[in-house]
Structure 1
Amino acid sequence: MINCTLKESPEPSNTHALAHVVARQLVALGVEVRFLRAVDLNIKPGVTGDEGGGDQWPEVHRMLLDTHILIMASPTWLGRPSSVAQRVLERMDAMISETDDTGRPVAYNRVAGVVVTGNEDGAHHVISEIAGALGDIGYTVPGQAWTYWHLGPGAGPDYLDDERGHDWSDRTGRAMAANLYGVARALEQRPLGPPPG
């Protein structure tokens, strides 16, 4: 799970709290879950695998290649993904041209989902932007592989400060985990082949 909150550790993160609901369900299914808070790392701007000068993206890239399920979690700011989420996606752009030994894009046979929190409307927009980018990179994004929480347009309380809407967000988060797990298992048993040609 890559948490794209703007808050550095150890500051509490609403996005982490909702992502943790999904993580608990994945753990119950036997999945090992690791959390990464991108803002804590020196992830330089760019679209290559290594921008040099202390860039920590190569470590994240290795983790991505070692994982079968990726969940990107982002708050909503001005109806859009966080700037940190955009930075992560820009760095993942380099993966589009990377292939494995059979010629498949390196993200093939990996699944991805999205967790979103925010105080204004726009969660579906954030989900579609992130899920669309992950699909471009080669990830399989199952149906309903997302959850979100917000209390409508305008300013409002945070996920950690208000219990309203948690039942729905938590229920869809658990369904998201089950969908990701099911599709990851299916791809493990019947992987996508190399592209034709």
Structure 2
Amino acid sequence: MRAVVVNCTLKGSPEQSNTDQLAQVVVDALQREKVDVERVRLVDLAIRPGVTTDEGEGDEWPAVHELLVGSEILVVATPTWVGRPSSVAQRMLERMDAMLSETDDDGRPVAYNRVAGVVVTGNEDGAHHVISEISGALGDIGYTIPGQSWTYWNKGPGPGPSYSETDEGHDWSAKTGRAMASNLVAVARALEAHPIPPTG
């Protein structure tokens, strides 16, 4: 089984990403379940604006799209900015819109029989809103969203230290991240054994 973790931080490599640090908890738990995990930091790539799978010369989204359709599990990791997902996460969802019209060999949308979850960090409140926005969009695209397939950390209400600047709340976020990974794998395996049928 394969998973792809798409980090929507605004920080380019090799700058430290708080979101990546919390996503690592989920990656470790997935790997303990024998899942092959690949990670992508979108800000490092030339992802053009648009709503198609390929926006032309220089666009690096097609390689990300290939990872998405080649994985049974998707984890979207994003920071919280002004109470919302990052602009990088929004661009990702806009590019994924093309998947609504792409079908597999049986005529199903290509996101069917794949599961998705969300990791959120931020030094302000808003994580539940971010989880809802991304989970809702991924459900529209065709992903199955298992129960409790998210984890988050924030220092709210109001601004404060970032994830890497304090240990406060890490135990809860890590425990929730491990549960998230377990639920994603369980539902992915169930869909593998009993896939959603074509709707005609």
TM category (shorter chain) comes to: over 0.9
Counterpart position of 1:23: 27
Match of 1:39 among 43, 46, 53: 43
Question: Is the counterpart of residue 59 in structure 1 residue 63 in structure 2?
Answer: yes
Gaps of at least 5 residues in structure 2 are: none
Counterpart position of 2:176: 172
Identity of aligned residues (%): 69
Counterpart position of 1:182: 186
Q: The residue matched to 1:114 in structure 2 has which SS?
A: strand
Q: Deviations over 1:35-74 (max 9, x none)?
A: 1000000000000111112000111111111100000000
User: Taking structure 1 as the reference length, what is the TM-score of the superposition?
Assistant: 0.98
Q: CA RMSD in A?
A: 0.6
Counterpart position of 2:198: 194
2:57 and 2:124 mapped to 1: Cα distance?
Answer: 37
1:102 and 1:126 mapped to 2: Cα distance?
Answer: 33
The letter for the 2-side match of 1:146 is W
Q: Structure 1 runs of 4+ off > 4 angstroms?
A: none
Match of 1:9 among 8, 13, 24: 13
Q: The residue matched to 1:142 in structure 2 has which SS?
A: coil
User: Taking structure 2 as the reference length, what is the TM-score of the superposition?
Assistant: 0.97
Question: Is the counterpart of residue 110 in structure 1 residue 114 in structure 2?
Answer: yes
Counterpart position of 1:97: 101
Number of residue pairs matched by the alignment: 196
Gaps of at least 5 residues in structure 1 are: none
Q: The residue matched to 1:35 in structure 2 has which SS?
A: strand
Larger % of strand: which?
Answer: 2
Question: Is the counterpart of residue 121 in structure 1 residue 139 in structure 2?
Answer: no
